[in-house]
Amino acid sequence: MKRFSTIPVPGSPALAKDLAATAVETDLSQADVIRQSLKLGLPALRARLGNRPLRRLSLVEHFKRLKGLELPPYLDE
């Protein structure tokens, strides 16, 4: 049986606010933000995963970009 122990890490209130704000901005949990920021750092994590408008293509636009695929003419409208 594995045993897990939680080790508290001291931090400042400013760091706690920054972690919470990054979690909200990136749609991650605070635990995920802590784990990822240990690898990347908070500013880099925000830059990579911050909420920016995602431009998703419609299915028709996606198929129009595929090479060698002929779409029916009614999809060109």
Give 7-66 pLDDT, tens digit per residue.
777 788 998 999 999 888 888 899 898 888 888 888 888 888 877 656 677 887 888 788
- Which contiguous run of DSSP H or E holds residue 34? helix 30-40
Where do we find the tokens 């003419």? 73
In this structure, is residue 1 part of a structural domain?
Answer: no
Structural domain including 28 reads 13-51
Could you tell me the maximum CA-CA distance found in the chain, to the nearest angstrom? 63
In this structure, is residue 7 part of a structural domain?
Answer: no
Total domains present in the chain: 1
| 3 pLDDT above the threshold of 90 | no
Q: What is the pLDDT of residue 39?
A: 85
The 10 Å Cβ neighbour count of residue 33 is: 23
Q: What is the pLDDT of residue 17?
A: 93
In this structure, is residue 4 part of a structural domain?
Answer: no
Is pTM beyond 0.95 here? no
